[in-house]
Chains A and B, each alone.
Chain A
Amino acid sequence: MRSIIRHNGSAPTLPDLRNLGTTVRILLAVNGAAMLAAFVRETRWEVLPAAVVETAGAVAPALILALALLWAAAPWIARQPYRVGAIAIAGIAFGATLAGHALGSFIAPRADDSLLRELGFALLVVAGLLYYFQLRARALSPAIVEARLQALQARIRPHFLFNSINGVLSLIRSDPRRAEEALHDLADLFRVLMRDNRDLAPLADEVQLCRQYLDLEKLRLGERLIVDWNVKSMPEDALVPPLVLQPLLENAVYHGIEPSPVPATLTINIFLSRGEVHAIMRNPYRDDGGRHHRGNRMAIANIRERLALHFDAEAALESRVTKDSYEVHIRMPYRNVAPPKARDARDAQAPGNVVDLSAERAKPRARTSIPTPGGRPWLKSRSVS
């Protein structure tokens, strides 16, 4: 969870100093800068190539030494906070420059060598490179997060899919209408599973999806599955990460209902309390030697990660095992997209008084995102201290 937040761009990160790409970039940058320096210093065109080669030769010992030292110190630097790491890198560059200078004046003393100027050159190169690497990390990291998110979401148990298809097949001859209904539910479910799920969506949509999912399970399990919905007071317009509840219900069915020889009840409570949306799911559970708990842990970790991405520390997921039941409790901040006007009105009123709920509900349910600057509503920038 931390790692994802670290990726979100506002916390600077040092480059991986043992990465070949990093090394090549440093080599190119230093030699490029040296070439530029020679170009600026030498006004006579005919000796310019020689001057470039000479400068490159002059920086080479220091550069190679610096790279070797950076490689050696990389694990230590990676553990340091950004500031300490940056100072260490600059220190290494200075040390290497000093050594290179000493070596240079020993082998081939030049008339115009100035230690101070070389140190200034080293400082400029280090600062420029660090800035470049930070920009690059910032540009890349959301892509990594996004890729992970998509990969995590695409998981649904093949077990469920194939059993459901088998269930539909069993209805086609005897009850074609119910088979149609079930196929539509399945299509809806997969539409949501496969779409781009980065933006927040209304809670009512998620609950609708859960109902369709449980209808499909009911088709297979019949009276073995009893669902107890307590969602009358839920805030329908609250914006939640898509698929925040469905995977948990899937787990509940898989671990709590299917192994039970007697009909079992799945309880779902969703309500608003003190500006927070609470969702509590409970299923009977009996420990049969930890048969398959990996799937459950994965789903929980995935949802935690997505809650952290959307709401950071304002949301939480807790799971609790008692003697014969398993419970998951999700807490999320209550956010709904109200137009600026409505938001003002709400702010003016007492807290907890939900304005315009009916108006919100009457509107066609569009997937909405939190308007945040930067165009990545699902990835809120937040600095980590």
Chain B
Amino acid sequence: MAEVPLRVLIVDDEAPARRRLRELLDDCASALPLAVVGEAQNGREAVELLQSIPVDLVLTDIHMPDMDGLELARHVLKVPHTPLVVFTTAFHEHALQAFEVNAVDYLVKPVRVQRLLSALQKVPKLRPLTPEKLSELPQSARRFLSVTERSRVVLVPVEEVVYLKAELRYITIRTAQREHLLEESLTRLEQEFGNRFVRIHRNCLVSRDFVRGFERRVSDDGDAHWEVLLNGVTETLPVSRRQQFVVREVGRELAA
């Protein structure tokens, strides 16, 4: 058991910081069997790497372009054989103090080798973060939605999402190319992404960026309702009677 090396992935957008961490991990290797199995420059690269390399521990910076460390921690939960996440940061952040009490570690850069070693030694006792714990963090909206498809994690950039539609237990994510199934709550998504999406129906959020216009349709029995016309996809979506005010609201934005 002790001879199985701990597989570590380093995630940081700064090359010197990655190099430093590698040096320190080398120093720790004599006291604790470990292997650095990869390096990534941001969360997105890290998720890609995690698809192909089994990893026990992700050491990730927090502020990174494209996908930051906190968002990475959320997507990591969907990776099969979920690795543990330890954050590294250049200065104490209030956001992370919550983790200290929850026994999930974080390291302040510059990291001393002793401090790193003690964090590594604690790893077997740590439990993966839970989505609940992560959602306690005051964090900004995700840049990606992650879905599991054939035991792979697929990242869907939020700006590519045309609409989100709740169906039974799942949410269908529609992009211009294809559809994905997501297991989350539509209300939560609406809260998280605020102004990007507009609710047009009890079960549907539409991205404002993709709205092309509205069309009045009259069905055979004489009932009239609005349909949303979208860029990038051919189907249209009905606006419910309750949400009719968005036609005026979004229409005004389109006209502007």
Interface of A toward B, CB cutoff 8 Å = 158-159, 162-163, 165-167, 169-171, 173-174, 219-222, 224, 258-261, 288-289, 291
Contacts and interface: CB of A to CB of B under 8 A. Distances in A.
B233 interface: no
A165 B90 CA distance: 10
Contacts of B63: 159, 258
A169 B110 contact: yes
Given A159-B91, A169-B20, A173-B23, 6 more contacts: A158-B91, A159-B90, A163-B17, A165-B110, A166-B109, A258-B13
Nearest to B109: A166
A375 B47 CA distance: 62
Contacts of B15: 222
Interface in B1-26: 13-17, 19-20, 23
A220 B140 contact: no
B16 A167 contact: yes
Contact of B141 (A170, A173, A260, A289): A289
B91 A170 contact: no
Contact of A170 (B13, B19, B42, B108): B19
B15 to A, nearest CB: 5
Q: Which 6 A-B pairs have the closest CB atoms?
A: A170-B20, A170-B16, A167-B16, A162-B90, A261-B65, A261-B66
A165 B141 CA distance: 31
B141 A258 contact: no
A381 B52 CA distance: 69
B109 A163 contact: yes
Contact of A158 (B16, B23, B42, B90): B90
A219 B16 CA distance: 8
Contacts of B19: 170, 174
Given A170-B23, A173-B23, A220 B17 contact: yes
Contacts of A173: 23
A222 B16 CA distance: 9
Interface string B132-153: 0000000011000000000000
Contacts, number: 56
Contact of A163 (B14, B23, B66): B14
Q: Which of A165, A170, A261, A289 has the most CB of B within 10 A?
A: A170
Nearest to B194: A289
A221 B15 CA distance: 7
Contacts of A260: 65
Interface string B41-58: 010000000000000000
Contacts of B16: 166-167, 170-171, 219-220
B106 to A, nearest CB: 14
Interface residues of B, number: 19
Nearest to A288: B140
B108 to A, nearest CB: 8
A146 to B, nearest CB: 29
A220 B63 CA distance: 13
A170 B16 CA distance: 5
Contacts of A165: 110
Nearest to A160: B90
Nearest to B21: A170
A173 B24 CA distance: 11
A74 B18 CA distance: 62
A166 B90 contact: yes
B110 A166 contact: yes
Given A289-B140, A289-B141, A167 B17 contact: yes
Contacts of B13: 224, 258
Contacts of A163: 14, 17, 90, 109
A170 B88 CA distance: 15
Contact of A166 (B17, B66, B140, B141): B17
Contacts of B66: 261
25 contacts: A158-B91, A159-B63, A159-B91, A162-B91, A162-B109, A163-B14, A165-B110, A166-B14, A166-B16, A166-B17, A166-B20, A167-B17, A169-B20, A169-B110, A170-B16, A170-B23, A171-B16, A173-B23, A220-B17, A221-B14, A222-B14, A222-B15, A259-B65, A261-B42, A289-B140
A163 B91 CA distance: 9
B140 to A, nearest CB: 6
B14 A220 contact: yes
A250 to B, nearest CB: 14
A259 to B, nearest CB: 5
Contact of B14 (A167, A174, A288, A291): A167
B17 A170 contact: yes
Interface in B61-120: 63, 65-66, 90-91, 108-110
